Structure 1
Amino acid sequence: MGLGGFPTVSLAEARKLRDRWRKVAAAGRNPIREREAERRAARREDISLAVITADAFEARKAELKGDGAAGRWLSPLTLHVLPKLGRVPVTELDQRDIRDTLAPIWHTKADTARKAMNRLSIVLRHAAALGLDVDLQATEKAKALLGKSRHKPKNIPAMDWRDVPDFYASLEEPTLTHLALRLLILTGVRSGPLRNLRLEQIDGDIWTIPADAMKGRKGATEDFRVPLSDEAKRVIDLARPHARNGYLFPNTRGGVISDMTLSRHMERRGLKARPHGFRTSLRTWLAEATDAPHEVAEAMLAHVVDGGVVRAYRRTDYLEQRATLAERWADFLNGGAGQVVTLAGNG
């Protein structure tokens, strides 16, 4: 069985092909027939990694938030894998290809590398489902070759909840940045939904965040209701004159203010804490200064708890209890005593 002539086929490529077809023969299959079948398939359709990745993405769209329109599922592959391996037929992809491609980011961008490896494994399983002869263990073998990542994840710096009232009081100017930070602290929401807050999402003392805007609630079909304290409603009213194109916190270019705008404000103040860290501040206050049940405290931050079956039967978002806690949190931020909060029915 010829493998191709030099220099069209390099020595390294010849060795790789030799090893592959030997395995096919050892399994009792005819390597020449299988190669010819692959060549016919290749003429019939492109089986490059880029094409199979696109096909796998199309098949998974319904499982992804917003049908994957944001491109987050594809981005680790688009940025770090496909530029090098996109034209390689999936049937020829092996652990050494994957190792060499992800080695530059394996220890420096560990989370991105992990996502790329996981997505690549999904693509290979998709290729196998299409009937292509791929190595489903290639990603696991590549991990073994790469070794354990030396990267140590760092938590986003958070401000001690006892220090938050002083910082909140310093946000006294009715600028978009100050008002956005105030509402972020008051509600405990993530930066994305807050920066993209639209006026029609607010109805009285309830702010309703669309399901597809809620990170961490994969497959969520229900919107998330945020109870607004009197202080939160006051902050929203102060921000209304700034509203443009329906957004409460617009920027000058027609979009909304960026996450970096909020982060840079805290950085210029010489603070290590970052805006996202106020969620930790609120959660720690709930644990140390209230008797809020675990489920209610987690619901304050829109965390998903319990399994899907349990959530299906528990038809509540604890809105009334969360509203009580939101009011007491606002009172604490405005100089209240911060005394232990007792929820009705818990004692």
Structure 2
Amino acid sequence: MALTASKVKNAKPGRYVDGRGLCLFVKESGSRSWVLRMQHNGRRRDYGLGSALDVTLTEARDAAAALRRQVRAGIDPGGRATEVAQGCAQLRNGSARVLRGVEGRLEKPELPQLDRQHGEPCLPANRQEAVDQVDSTHVVEVLTPIWLEIPDTARKILQRIGAVLDFAHIKGWREEEAALRSVRKGLPRQTDKVEHFKAMPFADIPAFMTELTTASPTTGRDALRFTIYNAVRSSETRKAVWTEIDLDKAVWTIPDERMKAKETHVVPLSKAAVSILRRRWKSRTSDDGLIFSNNGEKPISDMTMTKLLRDAGIKGATVHGFRSAFTDWAAEKTDFPKKVADKALAHKLSNQVEAAYRRTDFFDKRRELMAMWAEFIG
């Protein structure tokens, strides 16, 4: 009977057959490893595929399939079997370990999003290709279904695959560098059309905020209200810590490493936002832990705030969309210049000359603007 992930995890000492020569060996010490038994040149041989702690069942099957193809082609994998298995594992599981060694190639915050949404379905290892067998044709085939549907994500995945394959070459898992420059030529041309986050109309936000405020306080509701009051990104709220807050001055200083633009962002807090913080301060678990967390250590998930929108029957709108709603409100209902609203959103100036000469962050004007926004939405 074929193995399952649960059986692999809980297997007692012994030998367990998955099928077609793939076996799991569990020692008395509890260590467990993968072995592929095959006939090569009339002789039965065992190929080690690595520890089951590093290589999952699916990854072991991928590696076994890749090694079988090599043997059928007359290639003796020899001692490289474990390296091929580990290479397949790292490519398949989002390449978190590999990418630690690829400095500056991808933004770290992008990795979890790719893993959850589009990472694994688009990685060549899901096609059961060994890391040393992936070429531009394989990459074109896996990117084609999403290249026009979700172009931004598709481009990130292409960049990510390139980074992984380059690292595999450095580690000796591939004899040649990956030639992916021709991949785009094999894909249809992407348009420059930008798909914006869907936003709730700003006129509907006061009623929604009333619903949030009158309901029993929860960490998720507090986080969502705080996010809307400050027109910030959800990640900036979820990872906010008490040391960033000055309650007396009503200021929130978000360090550059947590900002998309990599520049420190100082947020003037409205009375409503401060009120949320003062209430949460009383029940804090530490003076320097996460603000919107049940234990001060683990941030709430992005879906926690999104679920509040769905539970309220609001379909389509996103948490990020409240930033767009704020922009629309500021343009239509206030006399503040667009550059003040842009600064409140921590947007970078597109005009580099203007950016070089501007020395103000419009803090006082932004405090007035955010106070008006908080009064409008309630």
Same fold (TM over 0.5): yes
Query: Counterparts of 1:254 and 1:127 in 2: how far apart (Å)?
Result: 35
* Structure 1: gaps spanning 5 or more residues: 1-6, 14-41, 335-347
Q: Relative to structure 1, is the Cα distance of residues 298 and 259 closer, same or farther in structure 2, using a 3 angstrom cutoff? A: same
Q: Which runs of 5+ in 2 are unaligned?
A: 1-67, 74-79
How many Å separate the matches in 2 of 1:50 and 1:165? 49
Per-residue deviation, 1:293: 1.9
2:374 equivalent to 1:303 = no
Give the Cα separation in 2 of the matches to 1:268 and 1:50: 38
User: Which position in structure 1 is the counterpart of 2:31?
Assistant: none
Equivalent AA in structure 2 for residue 290 of structure 1: T
CA contact (8 A) 2:99 2:163 kept: no
Contact 1:159–1:281 (8 Å) recurs in 2: yes
Question: Higher relative contact order at CA 8 Å, sep ≥6: structure 1 or structure 2?
Answer: 1
Contact preservation (8 Å) 1:160, 1:281 = yes
Higher mean displacement: 68-77 or 311-320: 68-77
Identity %: 31
Structure 1 residues 242 and 105: CA distance shift in structure 2, 3 A: farther
Q: More strand by proportion, 1 or 2?
A: 2
Structure 1's 60 and 318: CA in aligned 2 closer, same or farther, altered over 3 A?
farther
Change over 3 Å in CA distance of 1:278–1:96 after alignment to 2:
same
Partner residue in 2 for 1:169: 210
Closer, same or farther in 2 for the Cα pair 1:193/1:332, shift >3 Å? same
Contact 1:50-1:87 at 8 Å conserved across structures: no
Would you say the 8 A contact 2:284–2:296 is kept in 1?
no
Describe the shift of the 1:133–1:192 C-alpha distance in structure 2 as closer, same or farther (beyond 3 A). Answer: closer
1:1-347 equivalence runs, <5 A:
57=99, 61-62=103-104, 65=107, 68=108, 71=111, 80-81=122-123, 82-84=125-127, 87-89=130-132, 94-106=135-147, 110-120=151-161, 135=179, 137-143=181-187, 147=188, 155-170=196-211, 171-173=213-215, 175-176=217-218, 177-203=220-246, 204-214=249-259, 216-217=260-261, 220=262, 222-245=263-286, 246-251=289-294, 254-272=297-315, 273-306=317-350, 310-334=354-378
Give the letter aligned to residue 168 of structure 1. M
CA distance in 2 between counterparts of 1:69 and 1:191 reads: 13
Q: Alpha-carbon deviation of 1:149?
A: 7.0
CA distance in 2, matches of 1:189, 1:8: 51
TM-score (norm 1): 0.66
Measure the CA separation in 2 of the matches of 1:62 and 1:309: 26
Give TM-score, length-normalised by structure 2.
0.61
* Residue 85 to residue 303, structure 1, CA distance change in 2 (3 Å): farther
Q: Which amino acid is 1:225 matched to? A: V
- Is the 1:161–1:285 Cα contact (8 Å) retained in structure 2? yes
User: Is the alpha carbon distance of 1:212 and 1:106 closer, same or farther for their aligned partners in structure 2, counting shifts above 3 Å?
Assistant: same
Give the C-alpha shift of residue 260 in structure 1: 1.6
1:208 is paired with a residue whose SS is: strand
Q: Which has the higher helix share?
A: 1
